Structure 1
Amino acid sequence: MRDSQDAEDYLAGYAVLLDEVSRTGRRLTRDEIVVRRQEGERAAVAGRRLRDMVVGHLAATRAAWPDLSGIKGAVGQRDLSAAALAVLGATEQAVDAFTEGYDHAQRLAVRREEAARREFVDDLLYGRSDLGSLSERAQRFGLRLARSHTVAVAVGDEPYDETHPVTRRVESALIGRFGHRRILITTKDGRLVCIAPSDGEDGGGAGPARYFAKQAHAATGGRVVLGRSHPGPGGVVLSYEEALSGHNIISRMGLDSPVVDAADLLVFPVLARDRGALADLVRSVLGPLDSARGGAEPLLRTLEAYFDAGCVSAEAARRLGLSVRALTYRLERIARFTGADPGEPLDRYTLQTAVIGARLLEWPAKEL
């Protein structure tokens, strides 16, 4: 009953219009179409269902139909048929204008919602709004910023936005698993971003963020880094920055793990904090490799493979596509140039730290 009343609120003058059209056979004027379009916009803004509005138009047309014979037999069957066709044509015009206005208002509402969401995401990830306002706006998007959150960032082979099929697929997977439990899936600078609670509630732990990482890697084929859990709005910013920094470190270090925790990368920022000291270590320990035939890069890759293989020569040789004998020869050359033997514990620690530093500083591609 209420749906019918709702429709009537947006059909003022419609029955009179049909009656006139039935008598004259004319089409709707420009002004009449504008009125129908405006009514459609008004219905959309008021939150009325389009289905109810269309059904209301058809019901009004049917109710007015008997009046078409109000010609009282004064006209022939042919004239009556023409009147009926005119009314059907007017109904088509009216419904088309109404739905056009409705769709236009809906598109505007969606664009405003997207703009508000984008502004909120930017303010949240960069901490550019006062905490009170940010927390209030966060509730609209399902976040409770007083809790601890984990931010996971996925980078693929192409940039992603809110409408990308990959974004929708990952978001659907998260909703299917956890429901709408305070999880926000968004994009930033072409990356997929997940902000999920990590305080043991609403899915708990790193569960949602880690599940996002699994789904995002499967969908993008790229890498995902999970920031550490931190409380409050500032915690979201910090976790996001850790995830971004993790991607930068992984790229420099040439790591190939598909999902990485920022907590596992803490040693790298520590090493890079004193850039001067790190550069001095690289120059002192690995600098002599520059004088080797072929330069430092091949021997540097040899050390990386050796350390990544747990200092097991056979595995390192396999990764490099060398024989064990060729690998052993390279390690001996490294020892001669640097004065540090990879087989000795203390020398091995020094060499490995220097190798990490070289990748962080992008040496030897860049001068120290």
Structure 2
Amino acid sequence: MDSVLARVSEATGVPADLLGGFLSVLAASAATGRLPGRADIDGLRECGALAAERGIPLRVLADACLHAAEITAGGAFGAVRRGMAAYIEGYEDAQRAALRQEEEARRLFVDDLLQGRADAERAEHFGLRLAGAYVVTVVRPGTPVTAGDPLVKGIEQALVARFGSHNILVAVRDGLLVCVSPGALTAASGEFTHHVRSALTDWRAGVGRPHRGPGGIVTSYREAAGAIDLGERLGLRAQVLKAADLLVFPVLLRDREAIVDLVSTVLGPLTSARGGPEALLETLEAVFASQGNHTAAARRLGVSTRAITYRLERIRRLTGFSPSDSTQRFTLETAVLGARLLEWPAHPLV
């Protein structure tokens, strides 16, 4: 049997220690006519797992089994069938276990990466070079996604096919879709949101600014998630919000006392309007969003142009500020944005 083992190993490149049990099964089956027992099958399954761990292709392992059967089998082809099935089962079990380990390692890495705890060696394993600048894009779907969602794998495969495997990381964290891409690869974020748009109907995205190093990825991630939150608080219509376009709002929020004073002083008088201040605030928002065009603002609100003119005059009388004056317009617009950030008038100013 040793000579047969050597011939098969030399011909196929499969190590002899993985084939010895199979040849013994073939010889016993040829001699007795019996199929291999449980212990024999378990041994072959273990050899299949070892072959997977050593990186031997399954096709090569199957060819070695058939080559051995061709030399020795005689009437033992039933043993060949069961033996090969055991090899394959062990091989596939090992591959599934390796995949589960990789998925868990990836999940832990993403958590560490977005908390600033990832090291360069682990990052290299997942295709990121932390010395460079990266941009994080976050998508909040209407229904949270999970790491096993085919959508995640499909989007990552599409991005890797275009930009390469050492540039893009797509993952899930807390039900959010997260894409980490090099800052120099400016098309990646747009490509990511393009695939999201094709797959989802209810979603909103935030794009952070490029920052360097592990801490930079954390900063960009927080900016992207913060952009989504700001968009919802401000009632912005855009599905994709860039942190770079919203830098004024964190500045406003840093001095809460000042913004409370501004909203109270400029917009507080609107509370005396019939029906409350909300309709007048919406009118100001529509006018500012339409660059002062009353017709466009009316179309946004579904009212007449005359109603817009009347409301703006009412605002001027109550507050003393008019959007037609450039200085007063800036004060009014800042106050309106501050009101949305503070969720006023739904929440009182304190």
TM-score > 0.5 by shorter chain: yes
**Pairing 1:306–2:287 present:** yes
Q: Which residue of 2 aligns with 1:116?
A: 105
Distance in 1, Cα, partners of 2:284 & 2:11: 75
Return the match for 2:188 from 208, 212, 216: 208
Q: Which residue of 2 aligns with 1:170?
A: 155
Q: Which residue of 1 aligns with 2:218?
A: 237
Q: Which residue of 2 aligns with 1:137?
A: 122
**Range that drifts further, 215-224 or 325-334:** 215-224
**Range that drifts further, 100-109 or 155-164:** 155-164
Distance in 2, Cα, partners of 1:145 & 1:266: 25
Q: Which residue of 2 aligns with 1:155?
A: 140
**Pairing 1:34–2:42 present:** yes
Structure 1 segments unaligned to the other structure (5+ residues): 69-83, 199-203
**Pairing 1:98–2:87 present:** yes
Q: Which residue of 2 aligns with 1:55?
A: 63
Distance in 1, Cα, partners of 2:229 & 2:160: 29
Using the TM superposition, give the Cα deviation of residue 252 of structure 1 relative to its aligned residue in structure 2, in angstroms. 0.7
After the TM superposition, which residues 341-352 of structure 1 pair with which residues of structure 2 at under 5 Å, given as runs?
341-352=322-333
Using the TM superposition, give the Cα deviation of residue 171 of structure 1 relative to its aligned residue in structure 2, in angstroms. 1.6
SS in 1 for 2:13: helix
SS in 1 for 2:217: helix
SS in 2 for 1:13: helix
CA contact under 8 A between 2:41 and 2:86: conserved in structure 1? Answer: yes
CA contact under 8 A between 1:216 and 1:224: conserved in structure 2? Answer: no
Q: Which residue of 1 aligns with 2:271?
A: 290
* TM-score normalised per structure 1: 0.86
Q: Which residue of 1 aligns with 2:230?
A: 249
Return the match for 2:12 from 4, 16, 39: 4
Return the match for 1:227 from 208, 215, 220: 208
After TM superposition, the runs of 4+ consecutive aligned structure 1 residues lying more than 4 A away are none
Letter in 1 for 2:273: A
Change beyond 3 A, Cα 1:338–1:178:
same
RMSD: 2.0
Distance in 2, Cα, partners of 1:13 & 1:348: 86
Distance in 2, Cα, partners of 1:167 & 1:344: 50
Distance in 1, Cα, partners of 2:10 & 2:110: 39
CA contact under 8 A between 1:135 and 1:145: conserved in structure 2? Answer: yes
Provide Cα deviations, 1:301-326, integer angstroms capped at 9, x if missing partner. 11111110111100000110111011
Using the TM superposition, give the Cα deviation of residue 154 of structure 1 relative to its aligned residue in structure 2, in angstroms. 1.9
Question: Percent of aligned positions with the same letter in both sequences?
Answer: 47
SS in 2 for 1:217: helix
Using the TM superposition, give the Cα deviation of residue 94 of structure 1 relative to its aligned residue in structure 2, in angstroms. 1.6
Using the TM superposition, give the Cα deviation of residue 253 of structure 1 relative to its aligned residue in structure 2, in angstroms. 1.0
Return the match for 2:77 from 79, 88, 95: 88
Structure 2 segments unaligned to the other structure (5+ residues): 1-8
Change beyond 3 A, Cα 1:165–1:2:
farther
CA contact under 8 A between 1:217 and 1:258: conserved in structure 2? Answer: no
Distance in 2, Cα, partners of 1:255 & 1:214: 20
Letter in 2 for 1:105: A
Q: Which residue of 1 aligns with 2:306?
A: 325
Return the match for 1:180 from 165, 180, 196: 165
Change beyond 3 A, Cα 1:167–1:2:
farther
Provide Cα deviations, 1:207-236, integer angstroms capped at 9, x if missing partner. 323332333334334332221111222111
Using the TM superposition, give the Cα deviation of residue 278 of structure 1 relative to its aligned residue in structure 2, in angstroms. 1.0
Letter in 1 for 2:84: V
